[in-house]
Amino acid sequence: MRTNPGFIAGVAVLVLSLAYAPAIAASPLADNPFIAMCTGTKDAAHDTPASQVGLVKALGYSGTDLIGVTGLAEVLGEIDRQESRFFALYTGGNIDPGATPWEEGLEEASGRPAFTCGLLRYSPRAINNCMAYVF
């Protein structure tokens, strides 16, 4: 009788998984939060930061994110008050000459364990000026 090599490999993975499960559960990798994107938390009944953060918590999510910096201070304050978490800020930068490079209010998220996704804004003229230096 011959044993299938795939079966032996499967049993080995199962045994190793069970042996290392306590170490994995105690590691920082075990904190794998499930977040609600802010685009799905606003409706007629949830139009304030307090009600949106409350909805996210009531549905069992670990926290949320925000697109743009409008209302950022209020959202972060509510997240702190309700002991939720902030994970990401989607904001923009601008490479046009003379333009403000970052959105005003971005500093509100400074020092938080969240990532910032920077969307680059530009006009065709700015790109043409850059291309003149590249080529």
> Ramachandran region of residue 53, left (φ > 0), alpha (ψ -120 to 50) or beta?
alpha
Tell me if 119 sits within 8 A of 90, measured CB to CB.
yes
CB atoms under 10 Å from CB of 32, counted, come to 7
The residues spanned by each domain of the chain are 1-30, 33-134
pLDDT digits (tens, 9 = 90+) for 80-129: 999 999 998 888 777 777 777 777 888 888 888 888 887 776 666 555 44
Amino acid at 15: V
pLDDT computed for residue 103 by the predictor: 78
Integer angstrom CA distances of residue 22 from 12, 15, 28, 32, 116: 17, 13, 12, 16, 33
pLDDT digits (tens, 9 = 90+) for 55-70: 999 988 999 999 888 8
pTM, to two decimals: 0.63
Residues 6 or more apart whose Cβ sits within 8 Å of residue 107: none
